[in-house]
Amino acid sequence: MAQRAGKQALEIMAGDIVTGLARETAERLGIRLLDGPLERPAIAKTDGSSQMMRGLYRRSPHWIGPKKPRPLGAARRLAKLGLIGAGGVGANIAHLAANGDMADEIALVDIVPGLAQSVAMDLNHASGISGSKTRASGGMALSGIAGSEVVIVTAGRARSPGMSRSDLIDINARVIRSAAEAIISHAPDAIVIVVTNPLDEMTFEMLRSTGLPREKVLGMAGTLDSSRFRNALARAAKVHPSDVEAITLGSHGDEMAPIVSKAKIKGRPVSDYLSQAEIDACVRDAVTGGGQVVALRKTGSATLAPAHASIELVDHIRGAKAGAVPVSVMLEGEYGISGVVLGVPCHLGARGVVAIEEMTLPPGEMAALKAAADAIRKRLGG
């Protein structure tokens, strides 16, 4: 006898004899006669954890299972994100932050008349489609960043073909000093992320001009350079970038130090997948990646990848991501280096830099890191 949709049914197998009287009786009693064999439902498979929890509940109905841990993605939402510079990088940062629901408000500032306002209006118009709760505002006055928890500075002149990042030091230092004055006046408690090139030198200038502690002034470079390095390794090995673990330290320029000794592809050393010549080519690709974009674009530099790299730092500050991430920060004895801003692995949080992670590096990579520090110090006249 079987149950089908709340009714009784009788399975009739081949060779069974069913008389007319039996059929009449079955109909009178509401029993359906079904030709067999009938398909049996598959037995549900349960993992060991669920079976144990069910067994404990059967023994004691009052037993309550442990609470699941809060997912890492439950991040803090910023009250306000300030952007000084609403050009290609700034506009893309604002777009990503709005779509990622990272802040209640995004304030854009730019000296070009109408630029920041137009980007803010464009973002607000898009919210009718994206459903973003973030409201954007824009203007020319630096006071617009007032009350920001995080201020990202992208303002400054971009590179032209044939121009190195260091060629921009004198030009963009004036922009940084102006931004620093506004931050101290209107958002003195903010964490400052510098994107303006030359990155390490401008982060040093921001730190000196604001007088803020080193934990509060970060340079975005290592996240971008590491992404370029991972992309190069993935292409060479014909795998997805998500299969690659790699980090670059040092400066955001010719003295960049891709850390090959720590790089892995699918959890294994890169040398298991690539020859030394191929690895060297990937290192060159990471170092020259920004210049390749400038050479093709002619009138500007990269905008999309730097915006994503900046958002990665904001996510670490908000608690949406955990672990060490490469950031340009003033060193005070870490890696045997002091008095210079350099890209190193840092743990970030609501206060900015929580801790600097000192990796154990082979002599060659440690020498490259110190060479980068010496080069930056020299460009700053130290």
**Directed axis angle between helix 199-210 and helix 363-379, to 10°?**
60
Calpha distance 187→189 (Å, rounded): 6
CB 76, CB 319: distance < 8 Å: yes
Write the DSSP assignment of 21-42 as a string of letters: HHHHHHHHHTPEEEESPPPPPP
In this structure, what token pair is assigned to residue 312?
A: 């990665």
Residue 265: strand pairing partners: 244, 268
Which of the following is catalytic: 240, 252, 308, 347?
252
Residue 256: strand pairing partners: 250
Active site residue 347: no
What is the separation, in whole angstroms, between the first and last Cα of the chain? 92
For the chain, counts of helices (H) and of strands (E): 10, 17
Calpha distance 87→102 (Å, rounded): 20
For 306, what's the count of Cα atoms within 13 Å in the CB-facing half-sphere?
A: 26
Calpha distance 169→153 (Å, rounded): 15
Q: What residues act catalytically?
A: 252
